[in-house]
Every structure is written in structure tokens, then in C-alpha cells.
Amino acid sequence: MLTSLTIRDLAVTDRVDLGLAPGFSAITGETGAGKSILIDALSLCCGGRADSGAVRSGAERLETAIDIRLPSGHSASRWLSEHDLDDDGALSIRRVVKSDGGSRAYINGRSATQQQLRDLTAMLIEIHGQHEHQALLQRSHQLDLLDDFAQASGERKRVANAAETVRALDAEIDKLRHSDNADRADFMRHQLHELHAATLEPARISALEAQHRKLASAGALIHGMGQIEAQLCGDDEMTAVAVLRRALAELQRLSALDPELTELVGQIDAATIALEEAARDLRDRRDALDIDPEALAQMEAELARLHALARKHRTPVFELGQFAAHLERQVQDAATAGERLEQLLRDRDVAMHAYGAAAGRLSEKRRAGAARLGQKISALMEELGMRGGRFECAFESSDGSPRGTGNELVEFLVSANPGQPSRPLRKVASGGELARISLAIKVATIALDDTPILVFDEVDSGIGGAIAEIVGRKLRTLGAERQVLCVTHLAQVAACAHNQLRVSKHVVAGRTQSRVEPLTDTERIEELARMQGGIEITAATRAAAQEMLARGRQSGSAPGP
């Protein structure tokens, strides 16, 4: 529900801070008082075109703002959350237009684009009349509305699922048809032949690298171990073993003089024996090493081939085995591509049959709903003063390809007067006719739409008397389910409103200003008397206005939430 509207420096309006109530609110006032300014302000907040010429003379900028209490679980709440613009269920929209032409928009205090305003408010506000922002004129919305009215949402969902199945199969079939599986399979077999000729197991590759490192360093190992062996027990008198043996002999001589040295003799003797054993082990290991240039060259060639394959296939050398297994699966898939294509074509035939059946059921339900909707809206048009008017749904076949919305497009057609040919609703020239037709559609489909705020401008254009009262009652009926704002010149329409706002023009300090104020019951009677009276408002006029207000209140339900 729209809870407040704020206007600063728009046209002749200096400042308006307006609280709004639920139900049907009529906006009245003298001709030229500026009633359309409220609609213009709402339009700006809904992402309408910003015109710097609308800035009040002498002001630097205009501002319009609205606060909306969102219905529980409404799609607008999800939209705000998805765009990180939510604020604990609250919604505030502000639009600023500068006199130099600049424009900015804000949603819940955060900067937003004009398109975001349009996307968000399209879910919340519909403005009917000589304005933009009318979802009813969009053919896609008309189709959605018709399907809702026909209670065909289940059939439409099944059609969408069937169409998606066909599209997925078409994509796979197209992929198979545009791939040269035979040449691709031969190429992959060649790659597999190269891979299978090499060592691919990670354990074998690790062992090969270790053996290669050993052979590549065999010469250095033989030379180094030989030097160590010579240092331990070679022919030189300064080897480690020779030095220990001389030390042992001297210590044995000294132990004869000091028996306590006997223990040290044993330690040096053990060290000598250990060094001799280490020297023998080194010699054995050195003798076991074989410098085989041919074996080393073979290993280097195999490792080079493995690394070349890894570079070619852009995969780590230890994952070549996995890559080969992947290629084998692809070769198998390519070999069975023909069989796969045939199966996909059979599957598509089945899917198309399922789609055709689902789309046929949707078409039947849709056309039956269209007939009922046409009768209902045509009857409402008759009530709303468009005698002989006719509403119908025209169907246009699609191109035959599976579509998620079915086999046809829909267009709402209207004939506002007897003898006139039906024309698309979006091409209706008269703003008043369009507003009344939109009202008829809204009344006919009120239970289907979740747009909470409806705004009507010029809904009473070209009507009067009993028809005006009927229009007022229809608006009050809408107001029991939605919040309705209507600019009206007719007392019969305004008398049916749950609330009434008066727009008036005043001169303050030599400047013309428009004001908007809610009316009490007494003030409503005066305003209704003014709307239907002449130059002088008499007691009889007031009595008639009072009776009209009482009758209007009896014509419909209490205001909605």
C-alpha cells in the first residue's frame, strides 16, 4: 500500500506531504488546480521520463518520494533482496530532477537506475490513462492474464517443461551433427597409439626417474667412493685405518704400564674394525656400479618422450595415464555417435508429441477462457458507458517451433462503439476509453493480479449521470481489494470513494501554488456540492451531495488492507 507521497518544487507545487489511506481515494479539484501533478509525481517515482521543465520556477531541483508498505510475500520483496536493496520489508523511492537536466533515483536510500525503478514499480503500481507504465498493453502480460483467468497455469507449466525438453534434445542433436566424429575418432586413436607406446603408470615413471638419476651420477659415485675408500684404508700410511692401528699399538704398550687404559684399547680396536668394514662396503658398492651409456641414453630418450607428450596434451607427466583413459572413452563415444544420433532423433519425436499434446490442451483451455473473458469484459464495458462496446482475444499462431508459452500469441482487441472494427488495446487512441477498458479488465480479473496499487486518470472522460455512478462503484469494488487512486471531475465517482483528496490552487507572496489536502466528511459534502453545482452552492445542492455521499458508501465494501 502507498502510505505517503512527498512532492517538492514540481510545476506549481511548492511542498506536499501527503499521507494516503487504503481503499479507493478520489482526487478532485477545480479544473487547472493541478490534479495531474500527483499522477506526474507518481510517474517520476515509477521511472517515468524526467523533464527539467517540470522544476518549479526559481528552484534548483524537484523531488518526489513515495513510501510503500509491501504485502507479505510479494514478488517486489524478492526483487529487492536479489538486488541488495531490501530494508526489513520497507520500501522508499525518491526521484530528484535538477533544473539543468540531471536526474537521480534512490531505492531505500541507495542509488538506483531509472530501469530499476521501472522494473520494481511495475510489480506494485499500474497507472491507467494517458500515461506510460501500463502492463495491460504488453502482449506478454495479456497472455499471462488470460492464462490466469482460464486457470491454465498447470497446463502452461507442462508446456514449458515439454518445450525445454525439445530444446535440450535439439541442442544435443545439433552438436552431434556438426562434429566430424569419424575424423575425430581417427585422430584420437593416433594420440592413444603414441601414449600407449610410452610408460604411463605413475609408479613406473617415478622408478624410471630414480634409476636415471642413479645412472647419470654413476661416474661421480664411483670416483667419490674410491676416494673415500682410499682415505679410510688405502696404501698411504696416513689413511684413517693406518693411523688407528699405530695408535692402537702405542696404547697397548702404554696399557702394560697402566692397566686402566685397557678399556680404551678395546674401543680403538672396535673403531678400527668398523672403519675397515665401511671401506669394504664402499668398495663393494663401487664395484657394483656399472657405467652403461647405452642404458642411460635409452632412459633419457624415454623421459624426453614422456615430457614431450605432457607438453603436447597440456597435462602433468604423472597424469598421462588418466588422459589416455579419457581419450579411450571419447573414442568409444565417437564410435557410437551414429547410434546416439538415431536415439536422440527418436527421443525428439517422442518429446515433440508430448509437447504437441500439452500445447493442444493449453490452447483448448486458453480459447475457452478467452470466450468467457470477452463476455465478462464486454458486459462491464456496457455498464461503464461504452454501449455496444466489444472485447475479444485474438489468437495468432506461432512459427511452429516449441515455445514455453504454447503455440499461439494473444492480442486484446476492443471496439469502443457499435460498428467500429476491433483494434488492439495498445492502439486505442482515447485516454478515457483506455482507462475505462482497463478498469473493466481490472474488475474482471481482480482475483488474478497481485498489483497492489492502481491509479486511474481520465476514467470518467465523456461520461456522466448513472454511468458515472457505476464507474464509481466499480472503483470502490476495486478499492476493497487494492489501493485505488483516481483523478475525477465527477461528483458521482468521488462520492463512492473511501477517501477524498482535494487539490486547490492559491497565490502566496505573488506565486501560484497547488495544495493537496484530505477532506473530512463535512468538507467532502462541500466539495461534492461544488462539483455538481453552479456558481452558487445552495442548501439543496448540499443536501444532494450529502445523499450522494451516503449512497456511495452503501455501494461497496470497506477498504482493503
Contact (Cβ atoms closer than 8 angstroms) between residue 503 and residue 2: no
Can you give the pLDDT at residue 404?
A: 92
Give every residue of the chain whose pLDDT is below 70, as ranges.
32-33, 129-135, 178-190, 192, 196-200, 214-220, 222-223, 289-293, 295-296, 331-338, 429-432, 435, 446-449, 458-463, 510, 534, 556-558, 560-561
- Residue 161: name the closest of 357, 26, 395 by CA: 357
CA distances from 506 to 34, 380, 510, 514 (A): 11, 40, 10, 6
What pLDDT score was predicted for residue 431? Answer: 62
Q: Look at residue 352 in the predicted model and tell me its pLDDT.
A: 94
Rounded Cα distance between 112 and 92, Å, is 12
pLDDT given for residue 131 in this prediction: 46
CA 93 to chain centre: 21
Buried b (16+ CB within 10 A) or exposed e, 146-182: bbbbbebeebbebbbebbebbbebbeebeeeeeeebe
Domain segments of the chain: what residues? 182-335
Query: How many angstroms separate the CA atoms of 268 and 377, rounded?
Result: 120
Q: Give CA–CA dist 467/330, Å, rounded.
A: 75
Place of cell 593416433: 190
What are the distances in angstroms from CA 378 to CA 124, 126, 416? 27, 22, 10
**Can you give the pLDDT at residue 132?**
40
Q: What are the angstrom distances between the C-alpha of 501 and each of 124, 523, 526, 551?
A: 21, 10, 13, 19
The span from the CA of 95 to the CA of 66, in Å, is: 9
3-state secondary structure of 336: coil
Q: What distance in Å separates the CA atoms of residue 199 and residue 128, rounded to the nearest whole number?
A: 77
pLDDT, position 134: 58
Q: Which of 394, 373, 402 is nearest to 139 (CA)?
A: 394
Report yes or no on whether pTM surpasses 0.85: no
Burial of 88 (0-12, 13-18, 19+ CB in 10 A): exposed
